[in-house]
Amino acid sequence: MLRKVSSLKGYAIQATDDELGKVQEVYFDDERWGVRYLVVETGTWLSSRKVLISPYSIKGVDDLEETVHVSLTRDQVKNSPEIDTHQPVSRQLETEFSEYYGYGNYWAGPYLWGVGGYPLYPAPDGAAAIRETPEELAARAAGNPEDVHLRSSEQVTGYHIAGTDDEIGHVEDFICDDETWAIRYLLVDTRNWWPGGKKVLLATHWIDRIDWTESMVWTKLTRDQIKNSPEYDDDLPLDRDYETRLHRHYGRRAYWDE
């Protein structure tokens, strides 16, 4: 199911034994456009500490109850590596996190989740989790001490979008698949440059680059292409018919055909 990332904000995280807290935002990576963690405010039971919950542990999302069910216990979360969400999260910290829970490293492999397209744990038969050795991790850290690829959904919301000929709007939200946890689209509001404008979707595989210092997203699409694209309606479900019309408008190959 495709959903707006913002729709998860405030949802309760239900562990196997008790509630863990509320979803505040998500962290996604800027290489493969996957939602890698839900950032959860734990409240008083854990001194209001913020923790990361990986999609590897998510069993399902209940929109009626506004709850995300996870296959974790409170003790597991309580004893997990403490990560300061006010600082960039490096691959070294992610490795410590994944080793604690026994997950594979999602970046070590050819697919969205390393060995596959879905965050399955334990890994399916014949698809052993891939982990970097201490030597590989040290070599990576030496080459790039930061090695930061995670981005905050709250931080990137509001980034300006620039086409080949001028600015076309700003990022209002993200559309993700809550089974694969891939971010499929940026929701773009064009009304700050086009009076009477509309909301449109920009597929993540149409993004050319992101300038984090200038808070700008660049695409090779033009203003006219964006202006004439199918309008996105927040009140209607995002279905395959709309996605097909969107890709046909731009003459681009759809992600589900790749």
Encoding tokens for residue 13? 């995280």
Q: What is the pLDDT of residues 209-225, one digit of tens each?
A: 888 889 999 998 998 89
Name the percent of the chain lying above pLDDT 70.
90
Q: What does DSSP assign to residue 232? A: P
Q: What is the pLDDT of residues 70-82, one digit of tens each?
A: 999 999 999 999 8
Whether the per-residue pLDDT at 136 is higher than 60: the answer is: no
Q: What is the pLDDT of residues 88-108, one digit of tens each?
A: 898 889 999 999 999 989 998
Whether the per-residue pLDDT at 139 is higher than 70: the answer is: no
Residues with Cβ within 8 Å of 23's Cβ and at least 6 positions away in sequence, in order, are 8, 9, 10, 11, 12, 13, 38, 39, 40, 68
Query: What local confidence, expressed as pLDDT, does residue 141 receive?
Result: 47
Mean pLDDT of 179-183: 97
Banded pLDDT at 236 (limits 50, 70, 90): confident
Domains and CATH numbers, the chain: 2-151 (2.30.30.240), 157-257 (2.30.30.240)
Q: What is the pLDDT of residues 4-58, one digit of tens each?
A: 999 999 999 999 999 999 999 999 998 899 999 999 999 999 988 999 999 999 9
Whether the per-residue pLDDT at 109 is higher than 70: the answer is: yes
Average pLDDT, whole number, for the chain? 89
Cα dist from 163 to 40, 59, 160, 198, whole Å: 34, 39, 10, 16
| Residue showing tokens 């964006």 | 226
The verdict on whether omega for the bond into residue 55 sits within 30 degrees of 0, i.e. cis, is no
**Contact yes or no for 43/51 (Cβ under 8 A):** no
Residues with Cβ within 8 Å of 58's Cβ and at least 6 positions away in sequence, in order, are 38, 68, 69, 70, 71, 119, 181
